[in-house]
Structure 1
Amino acid sequence: MSTQTIALHQKVPEKIIKHSLNNKLEVIHSLEKKLNEKGYHFLQSQTIGRYHFDFFCPNLRIAIEIDGYAHEFTDIYNLDAPKKLFISSLGITVLRFTDHQVLVDMDEILRTIRQQIKSSNTPYVV
């Protein structure tokens, strides 16, 4: 898979948008499979308040978000500020990964999740 950086305010070709959307589903299923294999119990496609997360573990108060290319746009990144404030006020930690990271470095993603679970004060049996 190749990575393409899209300049701000550049019209995004429909082909790239479709590829990203198709990739998103593949990435979510891939991460879900690995989480299940490792015994991590995250709920898929969860809404907290009015914000959507790809995965959420209520017991650990950990949410996982998988970002596509759109999050590289400054406008999109800035729209996440209220979401970050709201979620942190609830005591929820959000782990953010790019779709590319999930596809090429699953081991690092699992290490990050495992480390966050260990550092949380909530007992979790894996």
Structure 2
Amino acid sequence: MRDLYSQHLVSRARELRRNMTPAERKLWYDALRSHPVKFRRQVPLAGYILDFYAPSVRICIELDGASHDSPEAQAYDRERTRVLEGLGICVVRFRNEEVLEKLPAVLTALDILVKGRQA
């Protein structure tokens, strides 16, 4: 997997880590930073920057806001998911509103997914 690391995206990933969206900040500080499975944030991989990635269980969490609603953005997201799933990475998407307003439900869904990937 190390050969899929996208070095040319490192500076952009660092910038995104410094400037997290409110939903990313909430998910990171309220849950993922201390999650039993180690998650990393803004990971450059396979030509993309993954919002959150747990290498041990190969789960990518993407948080989607209004910028993902256009047909072009949805087509891009489908291709990105196809590429990542082709590498054995499970991509799970949550809307920003879900994280901000229904975090316990998001975490329950995430825990079920993690447990299923650990088996």
Greater Rg, structure 1 or structure 2? 1
Provide structure 2 residue ranges, at least 5 long, that are not aligned to the other structure.
1-19
Q: How many residues get paired? A: 100
Deviates further, 59-68 or 30-39: 30-39
- 1:70 deviates by 1.3
Aligned residue among 6, 17, 21 for 1:25: 21
Deviates further, 87-96 or 31-40: 31-40
Name 1:89's counterpart in structure 2.
Answer: 86
Is 1:54–2:51 an aligned residue pair? yes
**What secondary structure is seen at the aligned counterpart in 2 of 1:119?**
helix
Contact conserved, 2:59 with 2:89, CA < 8 A, in 1?
yes
Name 1:7's counterpart in structure 2.
Answer: none
- 1:85 deviates by 1.6
- 1:37 deviates by 4.0
CA distance in 2, matches of 1:69, 1:60: 28
- 1:39 deviates by 3.0
Amino acid at match of 2:60: A
**What secondary structure is seen at the aligned counterpart in 2 of 1:63?**
strand
- 1:66 deviates by 0.5
**What secondary structure is seen at the aligned counterpart in 2 of 1:114?**
helix
Q: Please, what TM-score do these two structures have when normalized by structure 2?
A: 0.76
Identity value in percent: 25
CA distance in 1, matches of 2:21, 2:77: 21
- 1:45 deviates by 0.5
Alignment of 1:1-126 (within 5 A): 25-33=21-29, 34-120=31-117, 122=118
Q: Please, what TM-score do these two structures have when normalized by structure 1?
A: 0.72
CA distance in 2, matches of 1:57, 1:64: 9
Name 2:9's counterpart in structure 1.
Answer: none
Amino acid at match of 1:80: D
- 1:28 deviates by 1.0
